Amino acid sequence: MDVELQILKHLAREPDTTVSVIDEYCAEYKNLFKEVRNYECFKYLHLGIISPIKRKSLPEIAKVVGINSAQSLHHFISQSPWSVTELRARRLKKIKEALKGNAITVVIDETGDRKKGKKTDYVSRQYLGSVGKVDRGIVSVNAYGIYSNITFPLIVKIFKPRGTLKASDKYQTKIELAASIITELINYGFKIELVLADSLYGESRQFIKEIAKHQLSYIVSIRSNHGVRMASHEKVRANKWCKFERIFSNEKSETRYIREIIYGQKRAVTYWEITTDPETMPDNSTSFVMTNIKGEIKKKLGNLYGLRTWVEYGFRQCKQELGWTDYRFTNFQDIEKWWEIIFCAYTMISLNSPVFLALNQQNTPEVNRRDDSVDLARHQEWNHQVGWKNTLNNFRLVIQPTILLWLIAPWIDIFPNSHLLRGFNHLISAINQFQRFYSSG
């Protein structure tokens, strides 16, 4: 008998389950983790990251997912041998497959966040977009994709200031990092119909050259005082202001104005100027953009460049909802792993939004429901809209019973209640029957 127990002890066990919708998504990453405990931590982090707790630190996540100690989660990120590069490649592959060959818009932008102390890698005094001034912090260059008003993260690269470089590091500007991101996305096989970026990248010849090399359409911002070299006999001319309707994602619209500004005659450089009111020029609402898009520019340009604000939406959800800055690591290799897991959780929500589910509907299996089952969309707080935040709301409703059970578990240890436990078990089991639950909404 002792021999049998020893054999059973060393047999590979199945990973613990969390919630069916998370288990289903994470299953395609399973073979990236050699140990079952690491795969379990990967799933626990997804559950904790999308939960409604305000601070997504590892101790707080451990509480809501039923882990006695956060040490296992910390070990998973800082000590386990899994590869962030392989995880990113698998995630991008999932996104590309879900797109079914459809083209996407790519938005490039950088974001920075405060970080105190001097021990965290690549923290320096630099401009931080989140606070709008120079301060000590960490900055990254990010690429987000947009398809039918659903955002999804693509690639993030850390910016390494000169004074923080390690012996093995090579200094790269934000422009170089952005250009390398575009190249990587092309190599991954993404079909890109448009690239959007602000003036930092729009005024960079290197960045524009990289986009042109791949023959990509782009709309990039430039500053109003951006200089153009012309011959002495050449002049600047501006066409008349034209009205266009700026249509927002909520289908509301506002009247805006656009005009073309042409610098010189031969090899003319053309910029576009967009404003809310030409009578009050110049003002803070003015945008100058450069583009290589052909066709009916006046009707489309304003709305297309307006898509650039979606990257700010992505930053906000990562930071406010998913805990982008809640890590407690000083080694960048650990921070990079944390960021990639955040991107995995973000992608999970994006790919399970109604937009992507409809795109993959022919491959979605029918849900097997009992005759006495109840549609989850009948929950009074269920959100029937199609946005990313709406899908996150519904995910949180589905994981709510599991999280509540673990939160009250310490009280059940003191005051055992078998009826309560059976009730929770029945509720969680009923919810877990609904794969692709959100499509019914």
What residue spans define the domains of the chain?
2-82, 84-321, 362-440
Distance CA 203, CA 348 (A): 35
**Domain 84-321 falls under CATH 3.90.350.10:** yes
Residue 395 CB partners (closer than 8 Å, separation 6+): 21, 50, 349, 352, 438
| Distances, alpha carbon 58 to alpha carbons 41, 208, 321, 329, 410, in Å | 11, 41, 15, 11, 19
Mean pLDDT of the chain: 86
Rounded to two decimals, the pTM is: 0.88
Q: What is the pLDDT of residue 144?
A: 97
Distance CA 211, CA 153 (A): 19
Instruction: Quote the tokens at residue 267.
Output: 């090899």
Distance CA 394, CA 399 (A): 9
Q: What is the pLDDT of residue 371?
A: 40
pLDDT tier at 368, thresholds 50, 70, 90: very low
Question: Residue 349: is its pLDDT beyond 90?
Answer: yes
Question: Residue 367: is its pLDDT beyond 70?
Answer: no
Question: Residue 100: is its pLDDT beyond 70?
Answer: yes
Q: Find tokens 């390494």 and name the residue.
A: 160
| Burial grade of 74 (CB within 10 A; 0-12, 13-18, 19 or more) | middle
Look at 82-86, 345-349, 411-415 and tell me which has the smallest mean pLDDT: 411-415
